[in-house]
Chains A and B, each alone.
Chain A
Amino acid sequence: MSRANLALIVLIGLIATLPLFGGAYALRLGTMACMYAIFALSWNVVGGFAGYPSFATAAFFGFGAYASGVLLGAGLPLWLAVIVSGVAALIAAGALGAALLRLRGHYFAIASLSLVEVLRELVNNATDLTGGGMGLNIPLAAGSGIMADALFFFYAMWILMLATALTVMWVAGSKLGFGLACIRQNETAASMVGLNTTLYKSLAFALSACFVASAGGIYAAWVHYIDPSDVFDILYSVKPIVMTLIGGLGSPLGALCGALVYLGLEEVVWRNYIQIHTGVLGLLIVMLLLFLPHGLVSLRLARLFGKAKHV
């Protein structure tokens, strides 16, 4: 196991100890952190490994939230609802990916963006099933305390994050990961040497969807109420990109660090600049891109001590 992957596992392990230090609010933040990490890690598969700028994260998230919400309303247990949503998203995204991933660059970006719009409007119009613009109430899990509730959702999200990280690490080291890297560098050449690029890209797209959809399911149960403009918020698509850019494109460790840093920044900015916090967030994004274009992983610790392999 490479050092970066080891660091990733250690970091995830450290996050699991959060309940030792914080109360319910810290756990809420921790749950958000795990959710963001799932987004960033998942997006990294298609955006970082394969180099396809996907804006579909919000579509998968909303899909998962609504699928689980409806299933929970029908009386399914949470774990089953979450798994069903994840698998459904895996299949749907794989099929969609085969069509959409023929597009490149901006065109793919826009197609994935439109996916969010289409799904949102479909959910909005399927009033009988989803409540449409009125939102969907998810039944409360039967009587548990404040802390028990917080702990439950924190660990549910954490386990999902762990699963995501393990899968992503496995992909990175597998033939699939190698194929995706080839596609990123030169797709034409990759297909000429016999790589089934469509299959690889669809797999990447599907993998980037299933964990996000499952996270949506846990999220729906966690907040008890979802509505289309909330879970299909385009910001859910943009945030993982910013996180990955903060951490460093293509690196799972970077994605996780990026997610944590982003959440921290968001929290600090949100608390202290009520009137102008989106502006401050924008400023941070702009500065990061201009001054730290390769993310935090480009600041290797080794360089601090002058032991770099080459300059």
Chain B
Amino acid sequence: MNRTFFARCTRLLPVLAMSLAAAAPLSRAAAEDVIRFGAPLPITGPLAPEAVKQQQGYNLWAEEANKAGGISVGGKKYKVEIVYVDYQSSTPRAVQATEQMITQDNVNFLFGAFGSGAAKAASTVSEKYKVPTLAATASSVQVYDQGYKYLFGTFTPNDTLTMPLTKIIQVKVPEVKKVAILARNDLFPLAIAQEMEKSAKAAGLEVVYFEKYAIGTIDHSAALSAIKSLSPQWIFITGYINDLLLARKQMVDQEIKAPVVTMIAGPAYQEFIDGGGQSAENITSASWWHPAEHYEGEDIFGSTANFVKLFKAKYGSEPDYGQASAALCGALFQMAIEKAGTLDRDKVRDELAKLDVVTFFGPVRFGPTGQINSLDPPVFQIQGGKPIVHVPRCHQAGRAEGGGELVKRLFRGART
């Protein structure tokens, strides 16, 4: 009997040792003169690729801020430290992680969780504790209309993407009459598809097909065949990179052609262009920011070009809107804290609400709900393996300043 008991104990040892080893780093000494920013991110699970992008943005900002000596608060320099917690792409975990960071890790300020759903759910916690939160990737108006005072977001509402897109397409490709929309049945992709439907109808276009596909769909051939038989001039597909790469490949395979093919939210990412290869050509899209824009900002990054340069030097790739927005959130916190001259959460919150600055991301001003209302999201098209940007209001940005002819060619080329 004793033998079996000992045998059991020795077998258990590795388990115990692991648990102990795991528990050890729990006790972390709190360092002086550090501002701690909490960032709940979906580091594992289906949203993991997005979390990496967010992390790159935050880290780049933290590095730049610390290189410059830190954030100066009332004449004293504070180093930046970012606390990451993984919420496994699960919304309740995000809520839990947010509370953990506030009560256990003693963060001073928070970045929002990824995407509209998680950001909204987690914002109830940060609101409860009155911690100013900057959401880098939440675009739905429903996130901001809860009357919360401590939540701010750097993405304009979804319809600011689809409205200008529809206008440009109508002007440049007048033969577009029928639109087919295929949307991933998921928070952001579905919301943007619904906005697209509204924008198209408002512009007098006929929406001949509007269907959702389930998350995890690995074959779109049936939906695409149905679209093909309706011969729309504009095919609008929403989803994440994997969905869009697959849908695009199947479109090419099945020889489905339309004068305009728009995909959101993949083409803004370099991975889409790499993964799509030749088939990514001529896809149009819209996003909140693009590295080809030109802004002269007052933030730590200065100009858009400088941000792109720093990003490339650190990560070896072009930044996209997710990474840029994350870095922007850091830079905005820095500006607000420096202006407030204190780490007091309420004062910093007030400074955030008052911000009216130009940054590398574009002009930043938060509306009464906390959502940014000063940006014109760029519309772009992939040509020659590069996105060519057209900004609706045609301020200094973009290589499309030639207006008429170039843009015309740009949007007419979308035949596969």
Contact = CB atoms under 8 A, between A and B. Distances in A.
A and B touch in the complex (CB under 8 A): yes
A81 B89 CA distance: 28
Interface string A269-287: 1111111011010011001
Interface stretch (B4-12, B149-157, B278-286, B328-336): B4-12
Nearest first, the 8 closest Cβ-Cβ pairs linking A and B are A311-B1, A225-B121, A133-B185, A291-B11, A25-B103, A133-B186, A268-B22, A223-B92
Nearest to A29: B96
Interface stretch (B13-21, B56-64, B173-181, B199-207): B13-21
Interface in B21-40: 22-23, 25-26
A288 B86 contact: no
Of the four ranges (under 10, 10 to 19, 20 to 34, 35 or more), the interface on chain A belongs to 35 or more
Chain A interface, >50% SS class: helix
A24, A219, A225, A308: most-surrounded residue (chain B CB, <10 A): A225
B215 interface: yes
Contacts of A149: 128
Given A25-B104, A124-B214, A146-B128, 6 more contacts: A137-B120, A224-B124, A269-B22, A272-B26, A299-B8, A308-B1
B210 to A, nearest CB: 12
A298 B142 CA distance: 52
B18 A225 contact: no
Nearest to B186: A133
A41 to B, nearest CB: 20
Interface in B169-202: 184-187, 189-191
Interface of B is mostly: helix
Interface in A277-311: 277-278, 280, 283-284, 287-288, 291-292, 298-299, 303-304, 306, 308, 311
Nearest to A22: B103
A227 B8 contact: no
A303 B1 contact: yes
Interface residues of B, number: 48
B2 interface: yes
A121 B216 CA distance: 11
Contacts of B392: none
Contacts, number: 113
Contacts of B14: 287, 291
Contacts of B11: 291-292
A225 B142 CA distance: 12
Among A133, A146, A224, the one with the most B-chain Cβ atoms within 10 Å of its Cβ is A133
A24 B23 contact: no
Nearest to A226: B91
A274 B15 CA distance: 19
B86 A303 contact: no
Interface in A211-233: 219, 223-227, 229-230, 233
B215 A133 contact: yes
Interface string B43-79: 1101000000000000000000000000000000000
Interface of A: 23-25, 28, 32, 121, 124-125, 132-135, 137, 140, 146, 149, 219, 223-227, 229-230, 233, 265, 268-275, 277-278, 280, 283-284, 287-288, 291-292, 298-299, 303-304, 306, 308, 311
Interface of B: 1-2, 4-5, 8, 11-12, 14-15, 18-19, 22-23, 25-26, 43-44, 46, 84-86, 88, 90-92, 95-96, 99-100, 103-104, 117, 120-121, 124, 128-129, 142, 184-187, 189-191, 212, 214-215
Contacts of A140: 124
Contact of B103 (A23, A135, A269): A23
15 contacts: A24-B99, A25-B100, A124-B215, A132-B190, A133-B186, A135-B91, A135-B117, A135-B187, A140-B124, A146-B129, A227-B91, A229-B215, A268-B26, A272-B22, A299-B8
